Amino acid sequence: MVSWVALKEICPIDLETITKKATLIDNRIMTSPNKNDLDSYKENLLKARGDLDVLIGELISVLNNVDLLKTNLDLGLYRLLKDDLAGYLAIIDERQGNLLEVFDGEPKAGIGKTMAFRNILFVALRGIIYDSLYTSSLEYRRLPLKIEIELEDEKKGKITKEIKKDKNLFLRILFLVLSSKLTVLGGIQRRKHPQTGKVIVDYSTPNFRKTLTTKGQEAISKEYQERFGEGLDFSDEEDLFGEEENASMG
């Protein structure tokens, strides 16, 4: 069950403006259409679509915070996230044109296409924005302060490492969760990047620990280089987990 109030309470960053705007959009989308006045319902959806643009813009602004953007990796993830969201909005624009067929300021579409566009907005608001923020907030709250790493060399055994639970870890979790949802639900893997012309694929992993390994950082750096034509220096990052895939979170 979606609860924007509950999201605001569990999220480690301030979502006051986000949840207020999201609640208004949610109410617009969930309104049932009047078949005798379908044009009014289409206009309602178009207003919700405009508000969605504003909401995503506000989310990007909220994430542009010194508590979240502490390292070059954080800055790189933030720029990639902004690029992904911009690409997703472009996809919604395309689908809006195909479904509502707006000519001379008036939407021309029957009930089937109108409801199909309504579902696109529903997925964007609840399936991508809400679920990403909620899932990431839960993951961050459950993050232990200490982890046990299984050693696979000749020493065997385990070592314990401490995690500094700063808010930039929330950004890293959110980036990976959001990237995955944009790929699965948003169709972003089928778009071509405007600069490189390459088809963007899902390069992420649902496990944020990859951003704390050298291998994971190299994958992110490669994607950043391909998109923006410049590299990132991650020399200030600690390889907290190494390449161990079977680390025990305890």
- Chain segment 37-66, per-residue pLDDT in tens: 888 888 999 999 999 999 999 999 999 999
What is the span of the domain harbouring residue 90?
4-228
Q: Could you tell me if residue 250 is inside a domain? A: no
Q: What is the pLDDT of residue 57?
A: 95
Q: What pLDDT is attached to residue 228?
A: 87
Answer whether residue 182 is part of any domain.
Answer: yes
> What is the pLDDT at residue 246?
40
Match 């009930």 to its residue by tokens.
Answer: 111
Per-residue pLDDT at 106: 61
Task: Tell me what the pLDDT averaged over the chain comes to.
Answer: 80
Reply yes or no on whether the pLDDT at 195 is more than 80.
no
For the cut 70, the answer to whether the pLDDT of residue 142 exceeds it is yes
The torsion of the CA quartet 235, 81, 177, 60, rounded to 10 degrees, works out to 120
Comparing 203 with 120, which gets the higher pLDDT? 120
Tell me if 242 is assigned to some domain.
no
Residue 233 in domain: no
Q: Residue 235 domain-assigned? A: no
HSE, side-chain direction, 13 A CA sphere, residue 250: 10
Which of the listed ranges 43-57, 85-99, 184-198 does the model predict with the highest average pLDDT? 43-57
For residue 191, what pLDDT is reported? 45
Cβ 241 vs Cβ 149: under 8 Å: yes
In a domain, 237, yes or no: no
CB 151 within 8 A of CB 159: yes
Q: Is residue 247 part of a domain?
A: no
Which whole number is the average pLDDT over 87-94? 91
Under a CB-based contact definition with an 8 Å cutoff, are residues 117 and 47 in contact?
no
Q: How far apart are CA 59 and CA 103, in angstroms?
A: 31
Sign of CA dihedral 112, 47, 123, 203: positive
- Distance from CA of residue 33 to its chain's centroid? 30
Alpha-carbon distance of 18 to 8, in angstroms, equals: 9
Task: Indicate the number of domains in the chain.
Answer: 1
167 falls within a domain: yes
Q: How far apart are CA 154 and CA 105, in angstroms?
A: 71
